Amino acid sequence: MTGTGTVTRRDTPYGERFTLFAEVLWIGLLVAAGSLLLVTWPAAMAAGCAAVRRCVPDGPSPGTARRFAADWRAALPGGSAVGAVGLAVLGFLGADLRLAASAGDLPFFWLLALVIAGAAGAVVVYQVRMASTWSSTGRWARPRRDPRGSAMLGGAVLVSAVCVWQLTVLAPLVTGVLALAAVAVDRRNASGLRPGPRCSNAAGA
């Protein structure tokens, strides 16, 4: 860190983009660990999005895990309620699909399954957008109305689901990429190119 308080730029053997990618994967592992209780996954995603906002490709960011844990604890009270509601809705949709499947040769079952899958995806997108707008100084609130941004994030959720379906072991890593996508969607309408704060080196690992 320089005397003016800015972070010294550090080059890596594989370039800046690879460094950011590695950072996002590390954040994904933290988000996965924070989501183990299921109802805590919105809090974990909120902490992950906060970690992404602090980072640009300027080298490793010591203290990521510690700051993630602090954000996770701060987001936990409201995030657990959000997670419980989301899981209840997803459970209801899953029960409906199972009931329809057990009914036998139901006409247009594929259409019903598609509608239920779309509704489940909308629930996930809504909660991810809530998590991406959370801050440690604010409360959980409804995300601003942004159909285009929600559609873009829905595409990211769909791609993430396909990746996990193809290779389940990717699940812990995909969450970090999803957090990056959520932050990018929130920032896409910002006036000008204003990069977020660089990863601070002031904190210890």
Quickly list DSSP for 4-69: TSPPPP---TT-HHHHHHHHHHHHHHHHHHHTTTSTTHHHHHHHHHHHHHT--SSS--TTHHHHHH
User: Angle at Cα 157 formed by Cα 154 and Cα 158, nearest 5°?
Assistant: 85
Ramachandran quadrant class, 108 (left: phi over 0; alpha: psi -120 to 50; beta: rest) = left
Distance CA(110)–CA(84), nearest Å, equals 28
Task: Supply the pLDDT for residue 17.
Answer: 62
CB 140 within 8 A of CB 82: yes
Please provide the average confidence, as pLDDT, over all residues in the chain: 81
The pTM for the full model equals: 0.80
Q: Is 5 left (phi over 0), alpha (psi -120 to 50) or beta?
A: left
Instruction: Assess if residue 60 is contained within a domain.
Output: yes
Is residue 176 assigned to a domain? yes
Whether residue 53 is contained in a domain is answered as yes
What was the pLDDT predicted at 191? 41
Question: Is 204 part of any domain?
Answer: no
**What's the mean pLDDT in 55-61?**
56
Task: Give the whole-angstrom CA distance, residue 30 versus residue 35.
Answer: 9
* pLDDT tops 50 at residue 142: yes
Q: What is the pLDDT of residues 123-132, one digit of tens each?
A: 999 999 999 9
Give the list of residues 6+ apart from residue 44 with CB closer than 8 angstroms, or none: 30, 31, 32, 33, 34, 35, 72, 79, 175
Structural domain total, the chain: 1
Q: Identify which has the larger pLDDT, 18 or 31.
A: 31
Examine residue 203 and state whether it is found in any structural domain, yes or no.
no
Residue 145 belongs to some domain of the structure: yes
Helix (H), strand (E) at residue 139 = none
Cβ distance 205 to 65 under 8 Å? yes
Largest Cα–Cα distance in the chain? 72
**Residue 90 or residue 196, greater confidence:** 90
Residue 9 lies in a domain: no
* Host domain of residue 65: 16-187
Residue 43 lies in a domain: yes
